[in-house]
Amino acid sequence: MHARLIGPALLHAGILSLGWDLEPGILIPLVVLAVLYFRGVRVVGGVKRVPGLVWFAGGWLVLAASLLSPLHAASEQLFAAHMVQHELLMVVAAPLLALSRPLHVLLDGVPSSLRGRVEVLVDRPPARRAWRTLNRPLEAWLIHGVVIWVWHIPVLFQATLSNDAVHAAQHLSFLGSGYLFWASLVADDYPERGGLAILSLFTTAVHTGVLGALISFSRYPWYAAYARRAAAWGMTPLADQQLAGLIMWIPASAAYLIAALLIVRRWLRASETTVSRREREAFGPIAR
């Protein structure tokens, strides 16, 4: 019980004592992403022509903080820290990047010598069909859910702690599936797909909450590697796992529910606008 009480404080203090990890395999892609985006901003016509700039900057900063800060080093020692990192990728960075709608700006940022080839690949019918499929709420919901549950299978999750390539694949799949999930919810035709978006968010909150509860209430550690490392941080293996489960269960699930409420408000406003326009079109001539 004592370890449970002091665990979060020790986790916070331990993370602060770690250094930043400027791993080239992480740093270089982040820098390339930023360079392409801001080159694209210049091509489009400057900051005033890119309304999603603030969203992109916020998402990029969260990505950098998640993958380069002391949190990244701590994630290899504590399951709770790893969970914080994953939730930052999926419920903070991913929606911010999705709101920025960066794909066209990134394409404009590609050097002119390569841009034509990239545009040809992107504009091909198979690529367009694939994006339309992945950008539908049901498909994006399914991909995101499968990725979350599959990566928590013990043999796969523990492989991320001993193999950098597997760890990178996990982060990419979390971020990528998260981006697809959120992008499908903020598409231009949200009035038509608003109901599906709300259902996607609500069911995602439920199934991730269930997974978090299973992790929290388990009577034994799921991941032996973390069980051996938690003691160095003054935590028992179960205390570390319980904290990780609570992070997934409560704040992460709450983020999906809050997003669902925002979608409801947005959907209702769009519906009200549509009804008002139709009333004006129907009764306008009579009123005149």
Per-residue pLDDT at 30: 95
- Measure Cα distances from 105 to 92, 176, 195, 245 in Å: 21, 18, 29, 37
Average model confidence (pLDDT) for the chain?
84
pTM over 0.75: yes
What does the alpha-carbon distance between residue 197 and residue 267 come to, in Å, rounded to a whole number?
10
Per-residue pLDDT at 113: 76
Tell me the backbone φ, ψ of residue 210, rounded to 5 degrees: -60, -45
Both structure tokens of 61: 């900063």
Give how many domains the chain has, as a whole number. Answer: 1
- Measure Cα distances from 127 to 122, 130, 187 in Å: 6, 5, 18
Please give the helix or strand (H or E) that residue 71 lies within, else none.
Answer: helix 70-75
User: Is residue 48 left, alpha or beta, with left meaning phi > 0 and alpha meaning psi from -120 to 50?
Assistant: alpha
Q: Which of 6-15, 42-51, 158-167, 256-265 has the lowest average pLDDT?
A: 6-15
Full residue range of the structural domain in which residue 113 is found: 2-287
